[in-house]
Structure formats: C-alpha cells, structure tokens
Amino acid sequence: MDNQVLATIKERRSIRQYTEQEVPEEVLETIINAGKYAPSAEGRQPWKFVVVTDTGLIQDLSRRVKEQMATVLKHRRKWKKRFSELEDNRTVLFLRAVAGSTQDVVFHHAPALVFILTTGELFNDESCACAAQNMMLAAWSLGVGSCWIGFAKFLESDPAVMQKLKVPEGYHISAALTFGYPERVPQPPLRHPTATVINWIKG
Ligand SMILES: Cc1cc2nc3c(=O)[nH]c(=O)nc-3n(C[C@H](O)[C@H](O)[C@H](O)COP(=O)(O)O)c2cc1C
C-alpha cells in the first residue's frame, strides 16, 4: 500500500548538509502553517513560533549551545539530578566532542531555524512534537530538508538568548527545527521489523 503521504513519511531524512540557497519566506510560512494543523491536546494549539533566517545569529546560537553544554559538563554532578544521561560515559564523551568542536555541529549551517515554544501545561510538549513532525513532512514534500535539533534545549539556560529570541514569559523551547535545501540525503536507517508489535489482540 502506498500513496503520497506514505511516500513522504518514508522518504524524509534528517538533513545535516544544506546548500546555501535560502528558503523563501512563503515556503517557511507554508511549513509553519502545516504545523498549526497538527492535533493538540484539548485542541489548545499551544504553540508559538520563532523563525531565524539570520545566518550570523544561527552561528552565534550554535556557539552558545556549545558554551551551555560545556558549563553543564563542568558542573555535571549538579546537573545529574536533572539529566540522568550524564551518568553515561559515552554520552559525556559525545557532548564533550560537540562542545569542543570548532564546526557548526549543532545547526549544521542551516539557512533557517524555527523554534516551537510552549508552556508547561500537560501534553503541550506532545502537541508541539506533532506540529514539528507535520512541519518536517510538509517541508520534505516541498523539497526542503529539516532536522530536529534537541541540543537547542541548552539555549534555555541562557537568559540573554531567550530575550533575544523574544521567548515570552512562562514559555520554553519545545522543539527547534533546521530547514534548508539538502546538499546530501543520507541513506535511511534500517527500520525495526513489524515484529516489534509485541502484542496484537484481535477480537
Ligand atoms: C527529539 C529529537 C531530538 C533530536 N536531536 C538532534 C540533534 O540535536 N542533532 C541532530 O543532528 N539530530 C537530532 N535529531 C535527529 C535524529 O538524530 C534522527 O531523527 C535520527 O537519527 C533518525 O534519522 P532520520 O530522521 O533521518 O530518520 C533529533 C531527533 C529527535 C526526534
């Protein structure tokens, strides 16, 4: 069974190499609009969007993510309570490599970055994740690549950045997505077989 939606779902990849071509504003607006059509708990539509197409600022944000990462690693005993991942040596080594890199290993030189913001109300983050997936699929259907950047969460600990992005009081970064035209599309990672359905209770 296949159709255009299923094909887009299967073909989408996280893109980490972009061409220098800008994504036109109307294309970004179309992508964000697709996000707004996502399901949301109680139909609350709890999202706000911040769009950054200033590539100088995106590079600065990349540096600031790495700075915050380095701070967390330095005081990791304190942060372990919040992020149990810091107990894992492999994660610590990986974060250290990212924090110490001179390359833009955070936003991958993307020409556009969209933050999805929300408040702490129950299920708001889940609703925003639905919006994020709608946006990544809509982008792919328009020839635009994307990548969810979880590392962008580190920006929440930098008040100057939150102010610069004009994140409203009480809101946090639920998701950050890069957008741009793909320079290279990676091979799809292997999918677990459908046998991972561990139980199918038929009537
Ligand atoms: C919540 C979340 C956080 C992610 N954070 C990052 C990130 O910080 N940097 C990155 O390069 N990719 C990030 N990704 C992308 C994943 O690495 C990617 O989706 C995964 O490797 C599968 O590849 P695919 O999207 O091409 O199918 C994230 C994805 C999700 C859903």
On whether residue 163 sits in a domain, the answer given is yes
Q: How far is the CA of 148 from the centre of ligand 1 (A)?
A: 5
Comparing 6-20, 54-68, 187-201, the range with the smallest average pLDDT is 187-201
Residue 63 lies in a domain: yes
| pLDDT the model gives residue 90 | 94
Ligand 1 in contact with 79 (CB < 6 A)?
Answer: no
d(CA 76, CA 92): 9
48 in a structural domain? yes
Q: Quick check: is 8 in a domain?
A: no
Examine residue 194 and state whether it is found in any structural domain, yes or no.
no
Cβ(83) – ligand 1 distance below 6 Å: no
Sheet holding 112-118, edge to edge: 48-52, 112-118, 172-180, 145-148
Residue 146, helix vs strand vs coil: strand
pLDDT in tens, 43-93: 999 999 999 999 999 999 999 999 999 999 999 888 888 788 888 999 999
How many angstroms is it from 150 CA to the middle of ligand 1? Answer: 7
Nearest C-alpha to atom 23 of ligand 1 is from which residue? 14
Tell which wins on pLDDT, 78 or 95.
95
**Nearest-CA residue for atom 9 of ligand 1:** 149
Residue type at 112 in one-letter notation: A
Indicate whether 21 belongs to any domain.
no
Answer whether 8 contacts ligand 1 (Cβ < 6 A).
Answer: no
CA dist 41 and 57 (Å) reads 33
pLDDT score for 77: 84
pLDDT digits (tens, 9 = 90+) for 101-160: 999 999 999 999 999 999 999 999 999 999 999 999 999 999 999 999 999 999 999 999
Kindly state whether residue 20 falls inside one of the protein's structural domains: no
Q: How far is CA 32 from the centre of its chain?
A: 14
Most informative mutation of 65, 105, 147, 191 for ligand 1 (most atoms within 8 A of CB): 147
Query: How many Cα atoms occupy the beta-carbon half-sphere of 90 within 13 Å?
Result: 0
Identify the domain containing residue 49 by its residue range: 34-183
- Residue 1 pLDDT greater than 80, yes or no: yes
CB burial class (10 A; 0-12, 13-18, 19+) of residue 47? buried
What separation in Å is there between the alpha carbon of 68 and the centre of ligand 1? 20
Q: Is residue 17 part of a domain?
A: no
CATH number, domain of 177, equals: 3.40.109.10
Rounded to the nearest 5 degrees, what angle is found at the Cα of 181, between the Cα atoms of 175 and 183?
110
Instruction: Please give the tally of structural domains in the chain.
Output: 1
The reply to whether ligand 1 has any atom less than 6 angstroms from the CB of 151 is yes
